[in-house]
């Protein structure tokens, strides 16, 4: 499973910004490159942890798809109800339908059911997208210090996104070294992935100010 949709330029820039090293380290490595390159997408696709993340997200997606399929009977029922109401409406205008004491409640109930189904389907999609985003955030947090460590070892002061760079000398690309370090450490071979409700990824509303006591 590929995760190219995960890695935007903003994420790459946020994860691997310029980092200063101490002056003595720079003097010891006067011939070292000042910038190294890193391909985050390769780490997602090729590292043990990245593949673990993909497998776990696939499980969540399968779960969400199963729940979405369970909405099928309600969707079919709504389609049948829509056809029935269309026949009942005939040539009546919307105003005439609203003024029809027998017909108006049926249309209102249909609209309510349709909205509830739409909200449920959107929530399921949001659950997966939220789970995916949080998994990537946690994965990025795990990879970043490893990339920083390799950068410092090479005597560099910054990391650029290899995927958006025109050319990178092979010796200045630290992607393989980062993958190797991740794979060699048991603590960075497993991705932190769980299902999260979409509400966790929505902007938090500020709490209402408490009213003064009388």
In whole angstroms, give the CA distance from residue 164 to residue 23: 29
Query: How many angstroms from the chain centroid is the CA of residue 148?
Result: 23
In whole angstroms, give the CA distance from residue 71 to residue 117: 8
- SS3 string, 130-198, reads HHHHHHHHHHHHHHHHHHHHHHHHCCCCEEEEHHHCCCCCHHHECHHHHHHHHHHCHHHCCCCCCCCCH
pLDDT, position 183: 97
In whole angstroms, give the CA distance from residue 136 to residue 189: 14
Per-residue pLDDT of the chain (214 residues; tens, 9 = 90+): 444 444 443 344 334 443 333 333 443 445 667 899 999 999 999 999 999 999 999 999 999 999 999 999 999 999 999 999 999 999 999 999 999 999 999 999 999 999 999 999 999 999 999 999 999 999 999 999 999 999 999 999 999 999 888 888 899 999 999 999 999 999 999 999 999 999 999 887 665 555 555 4
Helix H or strand E segment including 35: strand 35-38
């Amino acid at each position: 499973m590929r995760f190219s949709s995960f890695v935007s330029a903003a994420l790459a820039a946020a994860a691997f910004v310029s980092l200063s090293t101490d002056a003595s380290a720079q003097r010891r490595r006067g011939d070292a490159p000042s910038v190294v390159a890193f391909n985050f997408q390769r780490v997602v696709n090729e590292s043990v942890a990245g593949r673990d993340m993909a497998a776990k997200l696939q499980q969540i997606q399968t779960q969400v798809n199963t729940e979405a399929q369970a909405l099928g009977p309600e969707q079919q029922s709504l389609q049948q109800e829509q056809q029935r109401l269309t026949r009942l409406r005939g040539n009546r205008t919307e105003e005439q339908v609203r003024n029809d004491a027998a017909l108006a409640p049926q249309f209102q109930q249909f609209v309510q059911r349709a909205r509830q189904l739409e909200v449920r389907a959107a929530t399921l999609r949001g659950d997966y997208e939220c789970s995916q985003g949080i998994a990537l955030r946690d994965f990025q947090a795990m990879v970043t210090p490893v990339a920083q460590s390799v950068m410092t070892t090479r005597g560099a002061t910054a990391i650029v996104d290899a995927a958006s760079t025109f050319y990178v000398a092979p010796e200045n690309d630290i992607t393989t070294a980062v993958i190797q370090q991740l794979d060699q450490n048991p603590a960075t071979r497993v991705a932190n992935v769980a299902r999260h409700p979409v509400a966790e990824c929505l902007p938090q509303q500020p709490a209402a100010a408490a009213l003064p006591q009388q």
